[in-house]
Chain A
Amino acid sequence: MESSWGVGTTSPSSDPIIHLLHRFTYGPTKDSVSEVTKIGADAWFEKQLDHLALPDTKVESYLAKWDIFNYIHKDMNFLWPLAESEGDMSKGQIFYSNHLTGRVLHLYTLIQQTHSERQIFEMMVEFWHDHLNITTLGDETKDGNLDWHTNDWNKRVIRQYALGRFDDLLQAAALHPAMLVYLDGELSTKEQPNENFGRELLELYTVTPKSGYTQSDIINAAKLFSGLRVKWPERWYQRGPRTRPWGSTFVDVPPYSTMLHGERQNYGTFKIMGWQKSVTTLDQVLPAIKSLLSYLAAHPETAKAIALKLGRRFVEDVPSQQFINDIAASYTSNNGDIKAVLKAVYQHPDFKNAAGKKLKRPGEDYVSVARTLNVFPNFTRVQKWKGITKEFSYPAVVPDELKRMGHAPLSWPFPDGYPDVASSWVNANHQVLRWNVYGHFLQGNTWNQPALDSLLPIRETNLDRQIDQVSQLILFKELGSADRASVRNAVTKAFGPNPDLNNYYRDITGLIARLIFQLPVWSLR
């Protein structure tokens, strides 16, 4: 997104460290800036890519405090018996009628984005979730059958492979029950293979329409995948919404709760673009699927499609053709190794020249405020939910705030993932909601009240110096003279010509911060 600004305004920081942290984290913080300054940007980047070696005690100890996170990342085999143990399916249904599993995942995601040390990893979790999108907002449209799988999807597909190889990620996604439910593989029959997954596999996840695939490629893919279905727990078939599938030939597809159903499987010679295989027995199906997915993952158009999306995420809304070519080449020569490709993005000249060219989407705005203020969700403002064996305390308002702004975590309802260009996120309603949210954060509402004095180096009593301090905390630079005057005027309008920081420290500092979040420069990253 292009911007220009007049004299005296506060422009985006040109400091390469700030730029790096704007793009590869959910927002620069005091601590992250000092760390990069200390060890150097390249070393920081390398360290981030080895995410499992990074200790993450702050976020882990927080999550351990709340019962609700006992239900994070659980799969259907854990959740279903628990739901059923109540002996009342209407209670068991809280998992989907209240979207409990999805909501836990949303809160968990926001907390990780805000406080995890593994920032590049968290950014890629979101990136890949959007790329292979399933909605976790609650799935009325799938009759509650999807919510059982969204947490396991997050854990064993997205988080497992977010910094691995794209081929592995794609294999996991294609075989996971969440995808089978979301794109209707569950509804396939031998005679009528559902085309949804076959279509999106080509259109969205890999080669894109630019590759020139045909409807027959889609149908062939659908036929090849027609035997896959979810392996629900035995009791689910007895008490759940669907009966046990007709037939007798079932082969497990580990490690997921997925199986091949012989009676639904199509056989023959499958030709999809430049790939072809004959499948005559059930045990040939999985190797053929894996071979097709590897072919697609390695396809040059897949490389370009992923390069384009990475460019949009980390560089600018419309990445240059040169960038796409360079990153696609890196993807191909590194065999789809995500860490290597990210390094190529980071080292690309287009990245270095892109400071301030991305508009924060609501989620990035929201999380970057929480990071700046170093706050956690407020568990004293909670809804009580009837749970499986007891009530949960759940701060539902936190993800709900983002939901109202159209950006609840991992919740885009369509298969193509949240849009990642500025024009999709500019509207009156979102702006008003964002502007008010800054106030909520500073007053301590859905998130804990920030400890402003401990965030700032000095307990300042001089207004001008306090404005400078707060500006450094939020923007890592001084305000432009005109913006500075606007902030000063606003504070004196509210607190008189000589605002008394001694007695009204919190309110005055809160207002200054509120106004600085409000500046146009904050909307950029």
Chain B
Amino acid sequence: MISDDAIKNCPEGREGFTRRQFLRGAALFGGMTVLSANGIRYTFAATTNEVPDVVVTLVLRGGFDSLSAVVPTDENLMRKVRGEIFIPNSSLLPLDREFGLHPALKKFMPLWEAKELAIVNTLGAPTHSRSHFDEISDVAYAAYGEKDKRSGWIARFLDVAGNGSAVQSVGIGSTTRQLIGGKAAPVNVDAINNFRLDSVFGYKAEDLAGFIDETHGRWTNIWATQAKSTIAALDQIAMASAQKTVVTYPNTGTGQRFRDVAALLKAGIGVRAVDIEFQGDWDMHANMGTLDDGWLTSYLADLAGSISAFREDLGVLWSRVTVVTVTEFGRRVSQNQSAGTDHGWGSSTFVAGGGVNGGKIHGRFPGLDDKQLKDGDLVVTADYRSLLSEILTRRAGITAEGAAQVFPNFRPEVLSVMKHLSETPLPENFPTKVQTALGNVAYDPDKLPTMAPVASATPTPTPTNTVDATPSPTPTAKPNNSNSPAASASPTTKSTKKTITCVKNGKTIRVTGTNPKCPTGYKIKK
């Protein structure tokens, strides 16, 4: 039987409860499922637990022209297809031999150099309709082949992995279909300080909240039950609204939205997923503008500026955040007659965060030759759901079975864009409040998917502003045994693990592994 103490120790946020206490608790009843007071199930597979990432999707509505952002350096080919909107290599920020970044994305470069930003080629949806109407919905629902598309993939993710918090998911902007449906009620707002009750006729908002709580407390139905949780959410969002920042965000709708999201995460209220709508339409059929000025340039500057300010604002919390861009389709390879591009198919995707195998272009670029295109469009070489699946399983704490519920009728391929949580130990100075609110997710290290070799062989250059965020992946020397259950249950592998403490400039992290080493720039604390 599970003791009352064990239930009390469930990771939903009892006061004064730390992750290490929790780990101790978990060890006592490893392999059990605990049903907490609020009915949330926690499955303790066998072994170990981590604080999961908050998943932030940034929706680039209208169709993102990745060929103008992550630009192929084959100038002859690009000049031919792009004409007026061609960007010469001399203007690009170097990424690797084959691609360069649009100069307006310069604020991405520190993230790229710190290996906190990855690019994935060439993602897209399985459908190729070039219709905003169909694709933006389908991408949000991500339930191809399912008749009932009333729940978005983030809503299904939280149905699988919800932590019981009143504010598990937040949609900022107007398009929030990814959050539609599901049991976890999303909070959809233009801006977080709009999510509040108005006082009226001399009656204070907090009194009104009490009145609602009291009168709905006498009822049992789904409306009244939601009302109680809405009242709780109001308090929590108010806590987020009160968060201050010294970081300067771009003075744009998108910048403001990222500032709101940072406040939500700093408030430690248990938000697990955020859907941000980029403010502005990427549907650039005409007059995209020049390298110095105009529609595309200003949007790209906003994109990179907002994410880099967000990263700076989050500080150590960045280690448990993944930001991924989502768009309904890429754009046509060839420029049209109006200095713009028409609807296409595949697109490069940006992924940033503390658990990204960054500084690298992943995936396969399909090529720009006529024969390599599909009806003039970049071919999709990997389904966008593979990346999302990987983020959810490696960073957000759901199992492969859980991911199959989130993305029905789909078998993801391994892209190795993300590190597993176990490779990025929680920094020691990670705020307890946020940690408690996020809860822990259990995983079985022996069942982790095969990891592609990552940057551990080439030491990470450590920019000074990113010390606490991404210690380079710990060489855990995990046996490569994901397909071999027989080899997986080796207790000796586990028992040889050690944990060391590493410090740098007053920041402390803990690294666990068979032969743990401190990341570049850190020194081992004896």
Enumerate chain A interface residues (CB-CB to B < 8 A): 1-6, 8-9, 140-142, 209, 359, 413-414, 419, 422-424, 426-429, 431-432, 435-436, 439-440, 442-443, 482-483, 486, 490, 493-495, 507-508, 510-511, 514-515, 518-520, 523
Inter-subunit contact B224/A520 (CB<8 Å): yes
User: Could you tell me the distance in whole angstroms from the C-beta of A162 to the nearest C-beta in chain B?
Assistant: 26
Contact partners of A493 in chain B: CB under 8 A? 203, 207
Inter-subunit contact B201/A428 (CB<8 Å): no
User: Which B-chain residue is minimally distant from A424 (CB atoms)?
Assistant: B150
User: Which A-chain residue is minimally distant from B200 (CB atoms)?
Assistant: A439
User: Could you tell me the distance in whole angstroms from the C-beta of A193 to the nearest C-beta in chain B?
Assistant: 16
Residues 201-225 of chain B, each 1 if its beta carbon lies under 8 Å from chain A, else 0: 1111001100110111011111110
18 A-B residue pairs with CB within 8 Å: A1-B221, A1-B222, A3-B221, A5-B219, A9-B218, A141-B133, A422-B223, A424-B181, A426-B185, A427-B186, A427-B188, A428-B187, A429-B195, A436-B197, A442-B200, A486-B214, A511-B201, A520-B218
* Interface of chain A: mostly helix, strand, loop or mixed: helix
Contact partners of A423 in chain B: CB under 8 A? 222
- B131 interface residue (CB < 8 Å to A): yes
- Known A1-B223, A3-B221; further 19 A-B contacts with Cβ < 8 A: A1-B222, A3-B224, A4-B219, A5-B220, A6-B218, A140-B132, A419-B150, A427-B188, A428-B195, A429-B187, A429-B188, A432-B234, A436-B197, A483-B218, A486-B211, A494-B202, A507-B201, A511-B203, A514-B200
Contact partners of A427 in chain B: CB under 8 A? 185-188, 226
CA distance A448 to B208 in the complex (A): 23
Contact partners of B202 in chain A: CB under 8 A? 494-495, 507, 511
Contact partners of A4 in chain B: CB under 8 A? 219-221
Inter-subunit contact A432/B220 (CB<8 Å): no
A3, A9, A432, A440: residue with the most chain B Cβ atoms closer than 10 Å: A432
Given A432-B230, A490-B203, A510-B200, do A426 and B222 touch, yes or no (CB 8 Å)? Answer: yes
User: Could you tell me the distance in whole angstroms from the C-beta of B95 to the nearest C-beta in chain A?
Assistant: 33
CA distance A428 to B218 in the complex (A): 19
Contact partners of B186 in chain A: CB under 8 A? 427-429
Inter-subunit contact A431/B215 (CB<8 Å): no
Contact partners of B230 in chain A: CB under 8 A? 428, 431-432
User: Which B-chain residue is minimally distant from A509 (CB atoms)?
Assistant: B201
CA distance A429 to B194 in the complex (A): 10
User: Could you tell me the distance in whole angstroms from the C-beta of A396 to the nearest C-beta in chain B?
Assistant: 15
Contact partners of B221 in chain A: CB under 8 A? 1-4, 520
List which B93-148 residues lie within 8 A (CB) of chain A: 131-133, 137, 147
- B189 interface residue (CB < 8 Å to A): yes
CA distance A429 to B197 in the complex (A): 11
What 3 pairs across the A-B complex have the smallest Cβ distances?
A141-B133, A3-B221, A439-B200
- B316 interface residue (CB < 8 Å to A): no
User: Which B-chain residue is minimally distant from A508 (CB atoms)?
Assistant: B201
A3, A424, A427, A428: residue with the most chain B Cβ atoms closer than 10 Å: A428
Contact partners of B218 in chain A: CB under 8 A? 5-6, 8-9, 482-483, 520
CA distance A30 to B471 in the complex (A): 69
- B196 interface residue (CB < 8 Å to A): yes
Contact partners of A431 in chain B: CB under 8 A? 226-227, 230
User: Could you tell me the distance in whole angstroms from the C-beta of A205 to the nearest C-beta in chain B?
Assistant: 16
User: Which B-chain residue is minimally distant from A439 (CB atoms)?
Assistant: B200
User: Which B-chain residue is minimally distant from A3 (CB atoms)?
Assistant: B221
CA distance A493 to B218 in the complex (A): 21
Contact partners of A510 in chain B: CB under 8 A? 200-201
Given A140-B132, A427-B226, A490-B211, do A435 and B197 touch, yes or no (CB 8 Å)? Answer: yes
CA distance A440 to B200 in the complex (A): 9
Inter-subunit contact A426/B223 (CB<8 Å): yes
Inter-subunit contact B215/A435 (CB<8 Å): no
Contact partners of A436 in chain B: CB under 8 A? 197-198
CA distance A418 to B188 in the complex (A): 18
Contact partners of B198 in chain A: CB under 8 A? 436, 439-440
Inter-subunit contact A519/B233 (CB<8 Å): no
User: Could you tell me the distance in whole angstroms from the C-beta of B195 to the nearest C-beta in chain A?
Assistant: 6
User: Could you tell me the distance in whole angstroms from the C-beta of A99 to the nearest C-beta in chain B?
Assistant: 14
CA distance A4 to B204 in the complex (A): 29
Partner of A511, one of B185, B200, B219: B200
Inter-subunit contact A432/B200 (CB<8 Å): no
